[in-house]
Structure formats: C-alpha cells, structure tokens
Amino acid sequence: MKMWGGRFAEGTAASVEAFTASIHFDARLYRHDIAGSRAHARMLARQGLISEAECALILAGLAEIEGEIERGEFVFRPELEDIHMNIEKSLAERIGPAGEKLHTARSRNDQVALDLRLYLREESRRIMALLAELQGAFVELARRYRQTVMPGYTHLQRAQPVLVAHHMLAYYEMFGRDRARLADGLKRINVLPLGAAALAGTGLPIDREFVAEQLDFPAVSANSMDTVADRDFVIEFAAAAALIQVHLSRLAEELVLWTSEEFSFVTLPDAFCTGSSIMPQKKNPDVPELIRGKSGRVIGHLVALLTLLKGLPLTYNRDLQEDKEPVFDTVDTVAASLTLAAELLAGLRFNEEKLAAALSRGCMTATDLADYLVRKQVPFRQAHAIVGRAVAYALEQGRDVGELSLIELRRFAEIIEEDVFAVLSVSGSVASRRSWGGTAGERVDEAIARAQESLRAEG
C-alpha cells in the first residue's frame, strides 16, 4: 500500500509506477531533504506536536539513513516514487510510529520546494566560487600579458589595437556580472517554503520562523498558494546559468578561432586538445568546442522550464516534477564547463610574434589619424572622410596607413605634421586610449589592481 493510498481500492499499475517515479534523479536531494526533516522534527517537538523522545528517535533515524546513502548502502525503492517517500518509509520501518509522525503539518508540495531551494542555494554559491576562480584566471592572464598588444575586432574585422590584458579583463567583467546575478537570485531562493503544506497552510500550531532560523533562511514565504506553485526561483537560476554558458561559449568561440592556422594567436595545452583518428597533424580544440556546444543544452533547459510553467494553474501540479532534471543537468554542465575553462586558461599561451604580425595590417590606427585631425580642429566627419581616402590609397599601394610618408599623408590634409607618426604607431594608439575603461596601459594597470583587490575581498 502506498503511503498515500488510503482512498484507493487497487494498486498502481506497474507502467504508471515506472512513468511517475522520480527517485532515479531526485535521490541527489537526500541531504537537503534530511536537513529539512531535521528542522521540521525539532519544530514539531518544540510545539508539542511530537514528544522530545520521538524527536530524538527521528533525528537518530535520519542520521542513520543519511550515513547509509553516503556510503552507497541505502536501497532506493522505485515504488516509493521519490526521495521524500523513500526516506520517510525507511524511517518508519526503523523507528516505528514516531517515524510516521514526521510528516505532520507538511506536504510533499512544500517539502520539495524546500529541497529545491536548499539545493539551489548551495549550488548557486558553488558556481559563484567557480566564477571567481575563472575571473582569477583572466586576471592572471592580464597580468602575464600586461604589455602585449593584439588586434581588437568588430564584425570579426581588425579594428583597433588593444592590450591582451584589456581583452582578458573584458571577460573578467562579463563573468563578474554572472556572479552578481546569482547573488541577487539568492535573495529569492533564500525564502522558507515549509509550512505552506499542500496549498492552504495548516491548522496545526507550527512555528515557521523557528524552522527558518534552523535552516538559515532570512525570510519566510508570505502566501501558501504561491509558495507551492512558485518555480520562479528555478527559472531565474536557469536564466543566469544559461547566460553563464553563453559567455563561456563566446570565450570558446574565440579560442577556436585563435587556435586555427588562420589566426595562430594562442596555443592551448596538449592536455585539453585531441587528435584526429585519420589526420596525424591535427590538434583539435575539443574542450572549447564542447563548452560551446553545451550552451545549447543549458539554453534548452531554460526554455523547457519556461514552457513547463507557462500553462499551469495554481497551485501544485505533477508537471512540476519535470523541473528537476533540467536543473540538475544545468548545474552539472555549467560547473564542469567553468572548471575546465579555468584549468585551460591556466595553460594558455599567446603567440606574441603572430599578434605583432597581425597588427601590421588592417590600418588599425586609422581612427587615431582621425583623432589627430580633430585635435587640429578639423570637424570629425571631415576627418573621417580624409582618413578614409588615405586608407583607400594605402590599400591600393599594398601598405598600411601607418606606413605612409609625411608627403603622402599631406596629400589628403596639409595640416598633418611630423608629429602624426607618434599616433600612427600601434603603441601610440594604445597609449592614447586613456578614457575611463580604455585600453591605455595605466588604465589597464588600474583595472588589474581593482580586480585583484575585489577577488581578495570577496574570496
């Protein structure tokens, strides 16, 4: 007989049991389920709904079950459907009637909401720590290549020279926003749902604030119907996770491009690449490619969760069982991708000769020439047109605009003087970008120092 089977005249069909069981994936919530049950049992005893002796039996039984699960000795029973019923049934079999009192004043509806919140609180913090490690890897690359210049791109066309450090710190900022999103999401995850019961609350004299204190929740949910129906916090986490994976995918795309023969800007550690089964010369960037590919599954999980929720009336519906697998896989995928990305970056090397060669073509100091003319009081639009003609001339000659002589440059604007060559050099271009957030050396040094201090303060 099912623990909920009192009103049923016949047992559940085997096919239905197989279809509805979730223990094969929600078993990973065992620690969170047991933590919630411990707090609930203590509250029941405090309120006189069970005796102190019964509470002690429950706590001892839960500790025994937790130990068995951790050692791989616990036998999960699919016919008991989920982690909640498996633990509760095992507890009752071990300690008798006291175990059957544990479910007093709660429902699986608020119980699973609690487990998910405890799980996502823990995993959000873990992923935030992994993001900080990845940020640290970018800061270390920025520090290591502090004086190395590379082409900056728009439209995947060479645009302006930037410091490698500046490029790396762009990712530091990107993943910093990801950490901030998770931290903000924790405010909504960190709300106690237990006590909402099935949907209407309970008539028994429970103390929700005590349970919240036991489980370190700073807030208690305000509406019992919303509490058991709410999965916004799950979707918010999935959205933040999808954006993390998208950012990882953008990084991966650059690494794939940069390791190609056409770029050859960077070399990846051999340990993070594979070869070809037929072409002996190949060194394939499989880790970045897989990180890029896994973005699709994480984005897909977000869409699945949004679709799951969109048609559900209040309050709890069994459809919500389908929220866990996407969340679990999202956590696993993002955590693994972040870990591998940080490890890969630690061994990444920039090819400074290739970067220097790339900087010699593309007329990347053309904007600096326009800025030079602006400083000579030429209206920017006129300066833009003048430089455009100079670039066209240089390209016809098979040269870079920075390689033109003073005589040639003065054909386009007589106001140009000998001092123009200071701004037409790559180093001069980089040094001139002193605006806040720019790529000038002193600005990048400041950014590295701020990043290092921030990581130390938060870590």
Q: Which has the closest alpha carbon to 210: 45, 58, 30, 57?
A: 45
Task: Name all domains of the chain by residue range, CATH numbers in brackets.
Answer: 12-104 (1.10.275.10), 109-351 (1.20.200.10), 358-458 (1.10.40.30)
CA 110, 116, 119: angle at the middle one, nearest 5?
140
- CB burial of residue 430 (10 Å; 0-12, 13-18, 19+): buried
- Whole-model pTM above 0.75? yes
Question: Do 245 and 292 contact (CB within 8 A), yes or no?
Answer: no
In the beta sheet, which residues pair with residue 191?
Answer: 219
Structure tokens given for 434 = 């002193």
User: How far, in Å, CA of 4 to CA of 401, rounded?
Assistant: 80
What count of other Cβ atoms lies within 10 Å of the Cβ of residue 128? 17
Catalytic residue list: 155, 276
Q: Is 154 helix (H, G, I), strand (E, B) or coil?
A: strand
pLDDT of the chain, 459 residues: tens digit per residue:
556 556 665 676 777 776 778 899 999 999 999 999 999 999 999 999 999 999 999 999 999 999 999 999 999 999 999 999 999 999 999 999 999 999 999 999 999 999 999 999 999 999 999 999 999 999 999 999 999 999 999 999 999 999 999 999 999 999 999 999 999 999 999 999 999 999 999 999 999 999 999 999 999 999 999 999 999 999 999 999 999 999 999 999 999 999 999 999 999 999 988 888 888 788 899 999 999 999 999 999 999 999 999 999 999 999 999 999 999 999 999 999 999 999 999 999 999 999 999 998 878 888 988 999 999 999 999 999 998 998 899 899 899 888 899 999 999 998 999 999 988 889 999 999 999 999 999 999 999 999 999 999 987
Phi and psi of 158, rounded to 5°? -60, 130
Q: Are 169 and 444 in contact (CB under 8 A)?
A: yes
Under 8 Å between Cβ of 438 and 367: no
- How many Cβ atoms from other residues are within 10 Å of residue 90's Cβ? 22
Q: What is the pLDDT of residue 387?
A: 87
Which pLDDT belongs to residue 402? 85
Q: Which residues contact 170 (CB under 8 A, 6 or more apart)?
A: none
Rounded distance, CA 143 to CA 445, Å? 8
Question: What is the predicted pLDDT for the residue at 368?
Answer: 87
Distance of alpha carbon 70 from alpha carbon 182, whole angstroms: 28
Q: What are the b/e assignments for 56-81, b being 16+ CB within 10 Å?
A: ebbbebbeebbeebeeeebebeeebb
As a whole number of angstroms, the distance between CA 211 and CA 203 comes to 17
Q: Are 141 and 164 in contact (CB under 8 A)?
A: yes
Q: Are 91 and 102 in contact (CB under 8 A)?
A: yes
The two tokens of residue 196 are 């909402």
Backbone angles phi, psi at 157, to 5 degrees: -115, 145
Beta partners for residue 163, in sequence order: 149
